[in-house]
């Protein structure tokens, strides 16, 4: 005869599924769920991976033989970072831990919970375009390159928001890379002098899995091997799909007979230096919208991204690229944990925007596409640089978490 699961177990199942779906890394998700289980009178063991959750429960009163609870397996879609949903879920856990709400109320809040993007589609598409244009400015592209990056990135956002069947089955990265490559070389034929690789990097910046690589290596370094390996494999496959799209795009360009030779920089007007500060503000706002930060939290996400960028620039001036990334990541980890401790919220609101402009995904992307580019950079050298930056980034986050650990259970 079967028995219904206890209400506490049903709540923890729902909560862990939604928390994992909001993009919270495995080590943080497991700590939060285990702390909630302890509060509710259960010893809860959690194993989190990007596409599955395993939960094991037993009562803390040592009466398991009379009331066994079967292990729970939850099959999931790969998570998408959603800072707004993560913040709401943390608020529920805080209220439950403080006895402000009961487990019945918390469970009712999660019934029918569906992850949602807080901002309308038109604003998301605009922010996709602003992200591409801002990154192009930061990477010293010309005005023509900036305009092209805005167009291609906005089109990529449209593909992402209104996907076709091919896009839904995992073809977004390859299709976006193909489209961006074709448009970049087509415009370069009409208006020579565009730095095509910079435009491609800016156009695909949201899809480049630098943040995924960082989370993967962080999980591996914290001994969450299953989740870290899965995320790492997913990030590498994304890089390969981007490289494949560029490869097909260059074949199409050659078929049209367009020249792939780039005129040295300087032939087209570039934005003045002060525009980069405007671009930094626009990029930080756009990432906050695309990661669905709550309205009242947008300024925090923007400030985290700006501080991280400024610290990285200072670090690069002092000790080189790797030291700049290490110092910025260290500061981001400290600020994220301070924010989490003081406001009892997820540090991801500071950590994700702070890391997004530091991630070495652009170098990994260049390494992948260089395999298909005649006369491109040495892939081995680029891969080594990307590896050093990953180590610097993860090392900074780990040192920061060691100096100022996250609050208990988070």
Taking only the tens place, the pLDDT of each residue in 94-148 is 999 988 999 999 999 888 788 778 899 999 999 999 999 998 888 888 899 899 9
Model pLDDT, residue 164: 64
Percent of the chain with pLDDT strictly greater than 70 = 86
Domain ranges of the chain: 7-80, 121-403
Whole-number Å distance between alpha carbons of 131 and 37: 40
Task: Quickly list H helices, 98-142.
Answer: 103-110, 121-138
Model pLDDT, residue 65: 60
Quote the distance between the C-alpha of residue 19 and its chain's center. 15
Model pLDDT, residue 371: 45
Task: For the chain, list residues with pLDDT below 50.
Answer: 1, 360-368, 371-372, 374-376
Whole-number Å distance between alpha carbons of 35 and 380: 44
Model pLDDT, residue 410: 55
Model pLDDT, residue 304: 93
User: How high is the mean pLDDT of the chain?
Assistant: 83
Quote the distance between the C-alpha of residue 90 and its chain's center. 19
Count of beta carbons in the 10 Å neighbourhood of residue 301: 25
Whole-number Å distance between alpha carbons of 214 and 72: 29
Model pLDDT, residue 290: 93
Contacts of 69 (CB under 8 A, 6+ apart): 5, 6, 9, 57, 58
Quote the distance between the C-alpha of residue 378 and its chain's center. 27
Whole-number Å distance between alpha carbons of 209 and 367: 13
């Amino acid at each position: 005869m079967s028995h219904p699961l206890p209400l506490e177990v049903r709540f923890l199942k729902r909560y862990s599924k939604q928390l994992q779906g909001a993009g919270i890394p495995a080590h943080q998700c497991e700590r939060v769920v285990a702390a909630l289980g302890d509060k509710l009178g259960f010893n809860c063991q959690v194993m989190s991976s990007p596409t599955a959750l395993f939960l094991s429960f037993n009562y803390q009163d040592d009466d398991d033989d009379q009331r066994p609870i079967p292990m729970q397996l939850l099959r999931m879609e790969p998570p998408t970072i959603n800072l707004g949903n993560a913040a709401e879920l943390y608020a529920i856990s805080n209220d439950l831990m403080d006895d402000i709400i009961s487990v019945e109320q918390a469970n009712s809040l999660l019934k029918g919970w569906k992850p949602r993007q807080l901002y309308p589609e038109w604003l998301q598409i605009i922010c996709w375009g602003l992200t591409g244009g801002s990154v192009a400015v930061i990477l010293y592209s010309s005005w023509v390159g900036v305009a092209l990056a805005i167009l291609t990135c906005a089109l990529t956002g449209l593909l992402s928001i209104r996907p076709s069947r091919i896009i839904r089955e995992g073809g977004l990265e390859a299709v976006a890379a193909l489209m961006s490559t074709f448009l970049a070389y087509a415009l370069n034929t009409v208006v020579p002098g565009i730095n095509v690789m910079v435009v491609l990097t800016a156009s695909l910046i949201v899809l480049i899995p630098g943040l995924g690589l960082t989370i993967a290596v962080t999980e591996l370094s914290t001994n969450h091997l299953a989740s870290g390996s899965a995320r790492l494999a997913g990030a590498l496959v994304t890089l390969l799909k981007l490289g494949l799209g560029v490869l097909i795009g260059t074949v199409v360009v050659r078929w049209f007979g367009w020249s792939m030779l780039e005129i040295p920089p300087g032939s087209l007007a570039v934005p003045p230096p002060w525009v980069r500060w405007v671009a930094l503000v626009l990029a930080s706002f756009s990432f906050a919208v695309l990661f669905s930060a709550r309205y009242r939290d947008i300024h925090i996400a923007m400030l985290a991204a700006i501080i991280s960028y400024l610290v990285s620039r200072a670090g690069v001036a002092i000790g080189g690229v790797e030291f700049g990334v290490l110092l910025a990541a260290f500061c981001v980890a400290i600020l994220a944990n301070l924010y989490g401790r003081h406001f009892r919220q997820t540090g991801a609101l500071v950590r994700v925007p702070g890391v997004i402009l530091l991630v070495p995904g652009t170098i990994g992307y260049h390494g992948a596409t260089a395999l298909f580019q005649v006369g491109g950079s040495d892939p081995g050298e680029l891969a080594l640089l990307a590896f050093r930056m990953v180590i610097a980034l993860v090392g900074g986050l780990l040192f920061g978490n060691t100096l100022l650990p996250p609050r208990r259970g988070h």
